[in-house]
A and B are shown apart, each in its own frame.
Chain A
Amino acid sequence: SQTIHQWPATLVQPVGSPLSLECTVEGTSNPNLYWYRQAAGRGLQLLFYSVGIGQISSEVPQNLSASRPQDRQFILSSKKLLLSDSGFYLCAWTDPQGGSYNSPLHFGNGTRLTVT
């Protein structure tokens, strides 16, 4: 069966420090991968998605970047964190074989990032 791993679960970082959040998927090939951010009391905002190695689409301009160095690895990064980067970051995948438009998202357990 497919599983998705996200780490770390929680992270406290000072303003101006770098960031690297990692997400890996097991049990599937060539998944579509997504990074979402959930701010307190708000819905989910799509940050990046990827349909293949090295292919990244950005949904909103921001202080963050994403990379996909391997088929089942998706990394969210920042060179210098801002206070506004605090939030709950969720990685997700869909199975492109099933038709990406109606395939549900499968989420990781998230990373709670607090920028101080």
Chain B
Amino acid sequence: GDSVTQMEGPVTLSEEAFLTINCTYTATGYPSLFWYVQYPGEGLQLLLKATKADDKGSNKGFEATYRKETTSFHLEKGSVQVSDSAVYFCALSSSRNQFYFGTGTSLTVIP
């Protein structure tokens, strides 16, 4: 079945460091891919998305490219800030109208 595998955390980085969180997926058909962010005590918010192969989603300095050949959607940011500390979830929407999330990666950015 469809699934998302996400890099284990937690991840701790210094401010202005480069961030990569790996995400790979298994799906039939052509899913849309998403990154959601969850700040402490809150629900999830959409960070970025891509709906077809080679699309690049971007928002707030974060980027991810939909790579069909490697079934990946890695999240990157060139220079993280303390305010980026949160839990990040990779997700896909399946052809069966369902949604699948990865297990989440906790990021802590220290000044």
A, B co-complexed: no
Interface residues of A (CB under 8 A from B): none
| Residues of chain B having any CB pair with chain A under 8 Å | none
